[in-house]
Amino acid sequence: MRSEPSIAPVAPICLRAIGHALDFALILAAWLVFLAPLKLLVGEVVFNRFLLAGGLGAGVVLALLYGMIFLYLSGATPAMRYVGLRVVNFDGQPASRPERLWRLLGAVASAGSFLLGFVWAAVDDERFSWHDRISKTFLTPTNR
């Protein structure tokens, strides 16, 4: 007799928000480390729209690299590991690389809509964000 696998519970929104905040802090720290040599090389920095556009572009590139290295390649970001989250698909199995890539692309869409895709989890019946639905994956607490 074959038993059906149990579907993992969706991680609470507050735990996911803590993970996102920690990931954002790590990306911000990397961005500041990236900009520190600029200040040392250039000296006085004149803030204008070109500097703002370049800084924002560098931040976006760092965020995408962060997602590709940690989420896509290793399966979890440092913040996810720290707060005890893992990515599973809708069958409750660990998410495959293609599913994690769709999750990353969906997160770009969620963030690119002025974070509406992330906020959507607060009103969704199953507490899924846009990138959860796009990738057919979600975060669940790890079994510690």
Contact of 28 with 66, CB cutoff 8 Å: no
Residue 43's region, left for phi above 0, alpha for psi from -120 to 50, else beta, is: left
Residue carrying the six token digits 């905040």: 21
The yes-or-no verdict on residue 36 having pLDDT over 80 is yes
Question: At residue 38, what is the residue type?
Answer: L
**pLDDT, tens digit, for every residue of 85-127?**
999 999 999 999 999 999 999 999 999 999 999 999 999 999 9
**What's 94's DSSP letter?**
B
Report residue 6's pLDDT band, with 50, 70 and 90 as the boundaries.
Answer: low
Q: What is the pTM of this model?
A: 0.85
- Cβ neighbours, 10 Å, residue 18: 15
Report residue 4's pLDDT band, with 50, 70 and 90 as the boundaries.
Answer: very low
